[in-house]
Amino acid sequence: MTEEQLQIRDLARDFAEGELRPHAEEWDREAHFPREIIQKLGELGFLGMLLPEEYDGLGLDTSTYLMALEEIARGDASVAVAMSVHNSLPTQMILAHGSEEQKERWLKPMARGEMLGGFALSEADAGSDAAALAAQARKVDGGWILNGTKAWITNGGFGDVMVCMCRTDTPENRRGAKGIGAFIVPTNTEGYVVGKKEDKMGQRASETVGIAFQEMFVPDAQLLGDPSMGFIYALQGLDGGRLGIAALATGIAQSALEHSLRYADERRQFGTAIREFQGMQFKLADMATRIEAGRSLVQRAAQAKDAGEKVSRLSSMAKLFASEGAMYVTTQAVQVFGGYGYVKEYPVERLFRDAKVTEIYEGASEIQRTVIARELYR
């Protein structure tokens, strides 16, 4: 790592240790973290890491961003997923496909943490088959009228601006994936309705809601790029988004390993620390090895992305391996703690719950395996 990367990693680590980890249990219990955390992330530059300096970002490479994201996830995965979605999807989609006016209007406040971004693609009947979405955009003078619903939206009510995918084709002339547009929608837009906040198993402090568009007018100036290419833009964004989730999962797993190492050194049975038993040593060794392998795969994919290579296969591999690795590591961490691992007084119970969703959101493990296999044949 360069000196700059080390400084950024240490800054993220200090923030996670001082501002996140001490409160993670409370935020999990209350299913909420304070908005001030987003403001602090913005002040430190963590919400504009991949944006050029001309838009008030830091202009950093993907590897450095993912290093910082892993450290934030070590402190609290709920804060990390808000940071990941913001950095990987709405900001990058606007940067890649927005007009200069759109970049000036939206990216600068997003980089500074004045606006938190989100991404609305999934629907109740269009999860893994996201191209089957039904939310409809109807062209009118000066803009579009949006109607429909979205499900499982991170930052959907807590955030300030969403990039939303809706059909721009007509019911009489459906064009599949080529009939979907992407729209930049402030969450205070009339007709933007926040639905039920989901009561989740893990990452509880991260807000996940359903949203509805009810005759919501969006001006032409907030259409992102080509009105028929929104789904393609979303897929391109998800390549980066999956790397974010892979780094987040690695951070969860790293935290679980650190707690396990300390506990195995302190806990004594049969007159000795349990870390002296071969069965425990094998368990800890396997946990550490999976984390290191996942981290290396994340960095391999990040380097390919920064080099301009197509990264669908590598990002899916990283997301698949790191998320399943996090589930393995946190399961073993609960086992290391024994009965204590099963109670909320100890942190590995929360980390176990936080890890599970990394195998599901931004493309379930089954979808990642499908993407990888298709890319192998290409």
Q: Is the pLDDT of residue 332 over 90?
A: yes
Share of the chain above pLDDT 70, in %: 100
Tokens of 205: 């402090």
Phi, psi of 51 (to 5 degrees): -90, 145
Rounded to an integer, the average pLDDT of 83-111 is 98
CB 251 within 8 A of CB 72: yes
Give the Cα separation of 229 and 237 in Å (integer).
12
Q: What is the pLDDT of residue 1?
A: 83
Q: What is the pLDDT of residue 343?
A: 96
Q: Is the pLDDT of residue 142 over 90?
A: yes
* pLDDT interval class at 36 (50, 70, 90): very high
* pLDDT interval class at 201 (50, 70, 90): very high
Weakest-pLDDT range from 36-40, 87-91, 172-176: 172-176
Closest residue by Cα to residue 81 from 26, 128, 24, 123: 24
Q: What is the pLDDT of residue 181?
A: 98
User: Does 362 qualify as catalytic in the annotation?
Assistant: yes
What CATH number labels 232-377?
1.20.140.10
Residues 194, 198, 202, 204, CA torsion sign: positive
Rounded to an integer, the average pLDDT of 11-29 is 98
- Annotated domain spans of the chain: 3-116, 119-230, 232-377
CB 92 within 8 A of CB 110: no
Report which residue type is found at 206.
S
Give the Cα separation of 350 and 30 in Å (integer).
13
Q: Residue 95 contacts by C-beta under 8 Å, 6 or more apart in sequence?
A: 50, 51, 52, 55, 103, 107
pLDDT tens for 123-134 read 999 989 999 999
* pLDDT interval class at 303 (50, 70, 90): very high
Report which residue type is found at 321.
F
Report which residue type is found at 189.
T
Tokens of 124: 């109740």
From the list 100, 258, 362, 375, the catalytic residue is 362
What are the strands, taking DSSP E only, across the chain?
117-120, 136-140, 143-154, 161-167, 180-186, 192-197, 208-219, 223-224, 268-269, 272-273
Give the Cα separation of 224 and 237 in Å (integer).
13
* pLDDT interval class at 331 (50, 70, 90): very high
Give the Cα separation of 249 and 239 in Å (integer).
16
Question: What homologous superfamily is domain 3-116 in, according to CATH?
Answer: Acyl-CoA dehydrogenase/oxidase, N-terminal domain (1.10.540.10)
In this chain, the answer to whether the domains covering 3-116 and 119-230 adopt an identical fold is no
What CATH number labels 119-230?
2.40.110.10
Report which residue type is found at 105.
R
Q: Is the pLDDT of residue 265 over 90?
A: yes
Give the Cα separation of 301 and 217 in Å (integer).
39
Q: What is the pLDDT of residue 47?
A: 98
Q: Is the pLDDT of residue 365 over 90?
A: yes
